[in-house]
Amino acid sequence: MLVEKFSEWHWNNARVDRMAMVKVCRYYTFEFEFKNRAKLPKWKGNLIRGSIGYHLRMLSCQKSKDCNKCEQLFDCPFGYIFKAKSKGLILKKIEGFTKPYVVKPPLEEKETYEARDTFSFSLVIFGDAVKFEEKIIEAVLSLSKAGLGVKRFRSPLKLKRVVVENPFTEKSKVLFDGSFHDSNVFVRDSHLKIDVGDTFVVSFLTPFRLVRNRLLIEPTFKDLTAFLLRRYSAIRYQYLGSDLDMDVYKVLERSEKVDTVFTNLKRRSFTYKNEEKEFLYGEIAFKGKLNSKLRKLLAFGTLAHVGKLATFGFGWFKVV
């Protein structure tokens, strides 16, 4: 009996150690310099996401076909990252499935850039989608040559370097500066920790849209937890190939004990596919003691964002 208990304890601890080393994502920051004058929109997330997607598709596939019917979908950089469907692990539907990336756009609303002005954005790639890393950088290089801008005010850029970083350990390393370099900087499962006091503020760096019954909601902490859980579980199953490491019902039950202290949210409209959508931005203060699972979810959310159109850069937040 003692041997059986020791074996079970040893196996469980070995499993925990393996999970701690799981590579959750790579966090890339691309640093540029404009070559000429350019004009960009105040909100740059859609432009960046669309430009990367366009150039990645041009590099990945020259055929005009429906990605969802393509037999190479899971082997194609563009198809897997931008048109990913379920591998059959949790969902059967194709459209709207959680994608393995998010854009972190510039937070400045600057519209006019002069020659030699700097410009940067970040891209987070989750799980096994990192295998397409070199193709993604090639796409960004193509984007640099084609340029960014609106209408006649487009300028090519110089890609100065690509840095891989870990915001939790504060480690970073240059991955590309004209040539590729080795880098073992990943955000691992064990890094998903965040220090949170009994009173804390979720400050949205970009607007967010959480919808229930087709209506925009101002979230309670339980609402925020529920939306984060959906995103967390989908990415773990689909791209990390690992089971959910928390009891959903217990996490949600615990989240009910966290109260809203105040909200300071405003509304802002964005147009997507010729349809105007309302988003919220600002901050929400909460009070309540968080356990390790809730802190882990918040840490993950700072990487993966929350809500609609998260891949475009919406729903990016920090916890203070």
Q: What is the mean pLDDT of residues 137-143?
A: 97
Q: Which of 37-46, 75-84, 183-192, 207-216 has the lowest mean pLDDT?
A: 75-84
Judged against a pLDDT cut of 60, whether residue 14 lies above it is answered with: no
pLDDT at residue number 119: 98
pLDDT at residue number 95: 46
pLDDT at residue number 92: 43
Overall pTM surpassing 0.85 (yes/no): yes
pLDDT at residue number 86: 62
Which CATH code for domain 193-319? Answer: 3.30.70.1900
Q: SS in 3 state form for the chain?
A: CHHHHHHHHHHHHHHHHHHHCCEEEEEEEEEEEECCCEECCCCCHHHHHHHHHHHHHHHHCCCCCCHHHCCCHHHCHHHHHHCCCCCCCCCCCCCCCCCCEEEECCCCCCCEECCCCEEEEEEEEEHHHHHHHHHHHHHHHHHHHHCEEECCEEECEEEEEEEEEECCCCEEEEEECCCECCCCCCEEHHHCCCCCCCEEEEEECCCECCEECCEECCCCHHHHHHHHHHHHHHHHHHHHCCCCCCCHHHHHHHHCCCEEEEEEEEEEEEEECCEEEEEEEEEEEEECCCCHHHHHHHHHHHHHCCCCCHHHCCCCEEEC
Q: What is the mean pLDDT of residues 19-46?
A: 94
pLDDT in tens, 155-190: 999 999 999 999 999 999 999 999 999 899 999 999
pLDDT in tens, 183-235: 999 999 999 999 999 999 999 999 999 999 999 999 999 999 999 999 999 99
Average pLDDT over the chain, rounded to whole? Answer: 90
pLDDT at residue number 96: 53
- Domain segments of the chain as ranges: 23-189, 193-319
pLDDT band at 1 (very low <50, low <70, confident <90, very high): low
Judged against a pLDDT cut of 60, whether residue 305 lies above it is answered with: yes
pLDDT band at 94 (very low <50, low <70, confident <90, very high): very low
pLDDT in tens, 240-288: 998 899 999 999 999 999 999 999 999 999 988 888 999 999 999 999 9
